[in-house]
Amino acid sequence: MNVKKKEIRVRLRDENHEYLEEYKVEHGISTLGASIDNIIDQYKILNKRMFDLTVISKLVAHEVKGGMQNELKKMLLAINHTDYNTQVLIELLQGFIVADNKETLTTTDLFKPPFLNEAEQAVKQKIEAQKIKNHSK
């Protein structure tokens, strides 16, 4: 292959000249110019690979973000629904306490009525049913 070459003069630091000499010997290259050409060719290949990796990493990041965004949206909707239900319960409880003229509360650590256990079990069953429904999708 007939490759056009240009003769130029360059000044190198001593350590770079030594590196080129070592590179020439290690790679069985006949001249320093050929060593420089080889290093530049390798640099071009490396640069292209780095560009390709950058593009691929951006595509992967975009896909991951898209997938996570859907999951986060689902979580946000569930949180909002839970917050709504909690606020409704607070309003109902407040109304019950005011209507019954209660001045103090008996907390569940002092007395846990049977209906609270039933309510907790019902909620646990609903959560399990929802988990099974989500896993079957």
User: Could you list the residue range(s) of the whole structural domain that residue 131 is in?
Assistant: 106-137
Within-domain flag for 8: no
Within-domain flag for 28: yes
Residues 76 and 18 in one domain: yes
Within-domain flag for 94: yes
In terms of DSSP H, where are the helices of 6-113?
14-26, 32-99
Residues 41 and 70 in one domain: yes
Could you read off the pLDDT of 40-65 as tens digits, one per residue? 999 999 999 998 889 899 888 888 88
Residues 79 and 116 in one domain: no
pLDDT band of 22, cuts 50, 70, 90: very high
User: Would you call 119 helix, strand, or coil by DSSP?
Assistant: helix
Residues 84 and 133 in one domain: no
Total tally of structural domains belonging to the chain: 2
Within-domain flag for 79: yes
Q: Is the pTM of the predicted complex or chain greater than 0.75?
A: no
Instruction: Indicate if the alpha-carbon torsion angle 69, 74, 75, 77 is positive or negative.
Output: positive
The answer to whether the beta carbons of residues 27 and 35 sit under 8 Å apart is yes
